[in-house]
């Protein structure tokens, strides 16, 4: 650091303005801290931006609130309106019953 | 430490003070950024805790919601009530026909109808617990499905696939051994009149309320349910004939 300070020193003082070497040292330290702080700020901003714009958004989009699904079943029947069991009747009786149903429309 | 400052150095000293102030402010802002990142990392439960400098973790969980109906069609066929009987009744649980319902076997009262012994068998084939809702469209109430008469019945009931008396429980991928609907079992386990969707017929079969939501399980040994149908046709039935169809819609809802 002394070499750096000597190089900066001139006939009219350090950096052409300052003659006190302690002030020059403090100046260098403060400038270094400032640059480091700005660098840290920029880096952290970049990291934060990456998190908020990609990772967390993709996580929240992957969760859906509800999923609906449907499936069906079908029941069918055909209830005959006028049919009656005539298996126990003779052929003549069946014919008579059929004619009767046709004439009256009754079952 | 005492610093002697020449008059020409007042400007430099001022700049130093200004630079120092800026440094303090920017450092404070940077630290606040770190605090914000801490709060973000707190949301990641699987954040890296080892000493590795670089690590990549990928976790993908896919939720599948799927309920399958192994018996999509129940066809009772075509038939009529024997002239000597007061009624013809049958259901998909017993399959036997009787004049007053399943309790009194008397097959001769139902002539021509198909002997159906399997109700709808649904299985939760996904990996998510669901809420199961049922509705009916088409010819849904007894009058619309069967005709006009005294003591008509068109009913349904819901029971566990693990019930050994269920004749079609063997269709389940893995035979159930426990109730498939939460700790309290299925709603409508007793015969209940079918009501059309247009008449407000929305039946929460399992887990209708907020506290019992998603109670229909997905574990292979408790994921099946049987929905049986019951018919009763009186001898004084008056109908125009023709096939009547009731479409039963089962809606499964998961949390995703």
Is the pLDDT at B52 greater than 90, yes or no? no
Q: Is residue B194 part of a domain?
A: yes
Kindly report the number of other CB atoms within 10 A of residue B34's CB atom.
12
Find the helix or strand (DSSP H, E) in which B160 lies.
strand B153-160
The closest of B244, B241, B236, B245 to B152, measured between CA atoms, is B236
Q: Count how many domains chain B has.
A: 1
Which residue of B3, B33, B80 is in closest CB contact with A80? B80
CA nearest to B91, candidates B151, B172, B167, B186: B167
Q: Which of A22, A34, A74 comes nearest B247 by C-beta?
A: A74
What band does A106 get if pLDDT is binned at 50, 70 and 90? very low
Give B144: exposed, middle or buried? Use CB within 10 Å, 0-12, 13-18, 19+.
middle
So what's the pLDDT on residue B120?
92
The per-residue pLDDT of chain A, averaged, comes to 65
- Find which of A19-23, B7-11, B141-145, B206-210 is predicted with most confidence, using mean pLDDT: B141-145
CB < 8 Å to A30, chain B:
16, 19-20, 23
pLDDT band, residue A103 (cuts 50/70/90): very low
Comparing CB atoms, the residue among B6, B69, B247 nearest residue A19 is B6
User: What does each C-alpha distance from B93 to A34, B151, B168 come to in angstroms?
Assistant: 83, 20, 9
Rounded to whole angstroms, how far apart are CA atoms B38 and B158?
Answer: 52
CB-based contact A76 B231, cutoff 8 Å: no
Residue B234 in any domain: the answer is yes
pLDDT band of residue B102 (cuts 50, 70, 90) is very low
Model confidence over B218-231: pLDDT tens digits?
Answer: 888 888 999 999 99
Q: Is A77 on the interface with B (CB under 8 A)?
A: yes
Q: What is the average per-residue pLDDT within A46-62?
A: 59
Kindly state whether residue B45 falls inside one of the protein's structural domains: no
Alpha-carbon span B239 to B51, nearest angstrom: 81
- Per-residue model confidence (pLDDT) at position A15: 56
Residue B149 sits at the vertex; the CA angle it makes with B148 and B151, to the nearest 5 degrees, is 130
Q: Which chain A residues touch B75 with a CB distance below 8 Å?
A: 75-77
Classify residue B29: in a domain, yes or no: no
Find the range with the poorest average confidence among A72-76, B45-49, B153-157, B228-232.
B45-49
Q: How many residues does chain B have?
A: 256
From A13-22, A53-62, B76-85, B216-225, the region with the lowest mean pLDDT? A53-62
Assess if residue B131 is contained within a domain. Answer: yes
Look at residue A73 in the predicted model and tell me its pLDDT: 93
Model confidence, pTM:
0.61
Q: Rounded to whole angstroms, how far apart are CA atoms B170 and B224?
A: 10
Q: Which has the closest alpha carbon to B69: A46, A71, A7, A66?
A: A71
Domain that holds residue B161: 67-254
Q: Where are the alpha helices (DSSP H) in B55-170?
A: 142-146
More confident residue, B63 or A79: A79
**Residue with structure tokens 């967390």?**
A56
What whole-number distance in Å separates Cα of residue A47 and Cα of residue A41? 10
Q: Which two tokens stand for residue A70?
A: 């449907």
**B132–chain A nearest CA distance, Å:** 9
Identify the residue whose tokens are 């018919």. B231
Nearest CA in chain B to A58: B60
Given a contact cutoff of 8 angstroms between Cβ atoms, the answer to whether B140 and B254 are in contact is no
Structure tokens at B214: 């998603």
3-state class of B62 per DSSP? coil
pLDDT at A32 over 50: yes
Closest C-alpha among B189, B181, B254, B185 to residue A68: B254
């Amino acid at each position: 650091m002394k070499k750096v300070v000597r190089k900066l020193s001139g006939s009219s003082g350090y950096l052409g303005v300052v003659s006190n070497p302690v002030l020059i040292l403090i100046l260098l330290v403060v400038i270094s801290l400032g640059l480091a702080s700005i660098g840290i700020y920029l880096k952290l901003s970049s990291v934060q931006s990456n998190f908020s714009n990609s990772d967390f958004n993709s996580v929240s989009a992957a969760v859906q609130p509800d999923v609906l699904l449907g499936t069906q079943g079908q029941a069918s029947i055909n209830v005959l309106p006028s049919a009656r069991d005539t298996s126990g009747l003779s052929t003549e009786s069946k014919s008579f019953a059929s004619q009767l149903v046709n004439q009256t429309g009754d079952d | 430490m005492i610093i002697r400052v020449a008059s020409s150095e007042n400007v430099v000293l001022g700049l130093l003070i200004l630079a120092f102030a800026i440094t303090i402010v920017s450092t404070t802002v940077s630290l606040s950024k770190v605090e914000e990142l801490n709060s973000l990392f707190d949301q990641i439960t699987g954040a890296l805790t080892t000493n590795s400098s670089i690590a990549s973790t990928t976790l993908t969980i896919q939720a599948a919601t799927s309920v399958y109906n192994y018996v999509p069609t129940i066809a009772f066929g075509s038939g009529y009530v024997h002239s000597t009987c007061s009624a013809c009744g049958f259901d998909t649980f017993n399959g036997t026909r009787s004049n007053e319902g399943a309790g009194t076997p008397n097959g001769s009262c139902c002539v021509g109808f198909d002997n159906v012994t399997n109700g709808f068998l649904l299985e939760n084939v996904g990996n998510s617990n669901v809420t199961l809702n049922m509705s009916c469209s088409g010819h849904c109430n007894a009058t619309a499905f069967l005709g006009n008469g005294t003591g008509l019945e068109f009913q349904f009931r819901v029971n566990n696939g693990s019930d050994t008396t269920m004749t079609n429980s063997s269709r389940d991928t893995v035979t159930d051994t426990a109730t498939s609907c939460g700790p309290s079992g299925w709603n409508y386990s007793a015969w209940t009149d079918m009501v059309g969707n247009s008449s407000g017929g929305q039946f929460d079969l399992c887990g209708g309320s907020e506290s019992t939501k998603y109670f229909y399980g997905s574990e292979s040994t408790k994921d099946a349910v049987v929905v049986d149908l019951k018919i009763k046709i009186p001898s004084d039935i008056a109908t125009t004939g023709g096939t009547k169809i009731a479409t039963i819609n089962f809606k499964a809802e998961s949390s995703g």
